Structures are given as structure tokens and as C-alpha cells.
């Protein structure tokens, strides 16, 4: 793992070669070894292979081309429905229609997803997380027919890589590791931690084509704005309520 993780890249273009069912199932089963709360495995994975379903999912992901081009789209859900059904079939009263249970199931689902992502990349597959999953959950819920106590938390597109993008930058480890207590960031700390990122030609180009003065402005004023975040927070909370977690 140490060998490939240093050079891992997110892959958004895939060969038109299918991903074998046996391989996919093997990787999903292996990812099932991931740590989980009380060994309950509070997640489900919906596998989309049909073109029709990909096209239905596409608008929820703002039409990003990976959704219809990737041979496989995985929607990973926080799932307390299965465990609750199990309880009901076993003379137990489930009490998982609440926010903490969403947090527990979402954590299980995300840890599972990341183990899967690592296994898939190590097997030579390319994957891409779609951050849009949490923007329009209601469309995904409807398309995948997710019942109460099931909430989508991650989407991965999966396929054989048909591109080899440049390695993306990362902050130095000192930027995110704190010794014993959290040490807040002085202006000098910020300068130091973000210097390399801000000086990269691709990031400077990104600032310039967006007609901004700083890279942070591109994020705060174009990509992830307060207005959008506030509107999407409401949508997500409404979806949690509809699915019975709030």
C-alpha cells in the first residue's frame, strides 16, 4: 500500500472495458472486513451498471460525465434499515430513527468506502468520489428507491483508467497534525502551510482564469460559497428528516 498510495490519482476517464462482476464482488467482500460499530455493518451499496440508471443518476451529480461513462457507479449509503428489520424479525424494538444513528451509520459507510477505494486502486482500477452525493440526496434516494433509514453518503465511479493525470498537491503534514492540543493558526502559520500550494503554476493559472486575486477566493467565492452551502445544508437536513434520521 505504501508503494502506490504516494502516487495515487483520482481517475475521471475510463476505458470502455467492463469491470468484471467477480472482481467487483471480491473487492466489496474484502472491504466488508472494515471496522464497524458493534459489527453491525451499517451500510449498503447500490451498484449501478445499466445505462438507463446512470442517466437517471446523472442530473443529481450535475451531469458530470463520469456517471454515464464509468462502467460501474457505486452509491454507498448509511443504512439502519437492514439492522432495524433484523430487530423487528427478532422480537427487538429498534431505536435508530435519530441523528446519532445517522452519524454512526454514515461513519461505517465512509470507512467501508475508503477501504474499497484503496483495494480498487491497488487492483489497478481508477475511482472518483462524487462530492455531489450530499448536494442532491433526494434525487438519488428516489432513483435508487432508498427506503426510510437509508441515506446516500458517498458515490464512487469505478473503471479501468484511461488517463494519467498529474499528481495533485497536498498540505505538509505539519499543517494538519497537532501535538497534544489543537494549536490555532497564526497568519505566519497559514503563510507557511499554504505557500507551496499557492505557488504551483496550475493553482496560479486557476486563480487567473477565475479572475480572482487569491486561490482562497476561488474556493470561497466561486466553488463553495456561503450561499450555496446554506441552501444545500437545508436540503440535506430535509432529506435526513424524510429518511427518518432527524
Residue with cell 432527524: 246
Sole binder of its own copies in the list 16, 22, 51, 145 (CB under 8 A): 145
Closest distance to its own copies from the beta carbon of 209 (Å) = 16
CB half-sphere exposure, 24, CA atoms < 13 A: 20
214 binds its own copies (CB under 8 A): yes
Sole binder of its own copies in the list 64, 68, 69, 114 (CB under 8 A): 114
72 binds its own copies (CB under 8 A): no
How far is it, in rounded angstroms, from Cα 74 to Cα 154?
A: 8
Q: In terms of CB distance, is 69 or 111 closer to its own copies?
A: 111
Closest distance to its own copies from the beta carbon of 139 (Å) = 14
> What residues between 167 and 206 interact with its own copies by CB under 8 A?
168-171, 173, 175-182, 184-185, 187, 190-191, 193-194
3-state secondary structure 180-235: CCCCCCCHHHHHHHHHHHHHCHHHHHHHHHCCCCCHHHHHHHHHCCHHHHHHHHHH
Q: In terms of CB distance, is 46 or 60 closer to its own copies?
A: 46
Q: In terms of CB distance, is 129 or 160 closer to its own copies?
A: 129
Binding part of the chain for its own copies, among 12-20, 62-70, 112-120, 157-165 by CB under 8 A, reads 112-120
> What residues between 32 and 71 interact with its own copies by CB under 8 A?
32-35, 37-41, 43-50, 53
How far is it, in rounded angstroms, from Cα 79 to Cα 148?
A: 9
# residues near its own copies by CB under 8 A: 113
90 binds its own copies (CB under 8 A): yes
Q: 140 with 57: CB under 8 angstroms?
A: yes
Closest distance to its own copies from the beta carbon of 172 (Å) = 8
Q: Give the bridge partners for 157, in sequence order.
A: 73, 128
Closest distance to its own copies from the beta carbon of 185 (Å) = 5
Cell numbers that stand for 65 in this block: 460525465
Q: What's the Cα-to-Cα distance from 89 to each of 37, 85, 93, rounded to whole Å? A: 21, 6, 10
Amino acid at each position: 500500500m505504501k508503494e502506490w498510495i504516494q502516487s495515487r490519482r483520482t481517475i475521471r476517464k475510463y476505458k470502455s472495458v467492463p469491470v468484471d462482476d467477480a472482481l467487483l464482488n471480491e473487492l466489496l467482500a474484502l472491504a466488508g472486513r472494515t471496522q464497524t460499530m458493534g459489527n453491525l455493518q451499517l451500510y449498503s451499496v447500490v451498484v449501478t451498471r445499466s445505462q438507463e440508471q446512470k442517466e437517471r443518476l446523472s442530473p443529481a451529480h450535475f451531469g458530470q460525465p463520469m456517471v454515464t461513462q464509468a462502467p460501474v457507479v457505486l452509491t454507498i449509503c448509511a443504512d439502519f434499515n437492514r439492522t432495524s428489520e433484523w430487530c423487528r424479525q427478532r422480537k427487538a424494538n429498534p431505536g435508530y430513527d435519530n441523528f446519532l444513528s445517522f452519524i454512526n451509520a454514515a461513519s461505517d459507510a465512509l470507512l467501508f468506502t475508503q477501504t474499497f477505494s484503496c483495494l480498487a486502486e491497488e487492483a489497478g482500477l481508477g475511482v472518483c468520489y462524487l462530492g455531489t452525493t450530499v448536494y442532491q440526496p433526494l434525487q438519488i434516494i428516489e432513483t435508487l428507491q432508498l427506503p426510510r433509514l437509508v441515506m446516500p453518503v458517498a458515490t464512487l465511479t469505478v473503471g479501468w483508467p484511461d488517463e494519467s493525470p498529474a499528481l495533485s498537491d497536498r498540505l505538509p503534514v505539519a499543517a494538519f497534525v497537532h501535538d497534544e492540543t489543537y494549536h490555532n493558526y497564526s497568519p505566519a502559520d497559514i503563510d507557511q502551510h499554504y505557500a507551496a500550494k499557492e505557488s504551483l503554476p496550475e493553482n496560479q493559472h486557476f486563480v487567473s482564469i477565475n479572475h480572482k486575486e487569491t486561490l482562497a477566493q476561488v474556493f470561497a467565492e466561486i466553488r463553495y460559497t456561503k450561499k450555496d452551502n446554506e441552501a444545500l445544508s437545508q436540503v440535506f437536513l430535509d432529506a435526513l428528516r424524510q429518511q427518518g434520521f432527524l
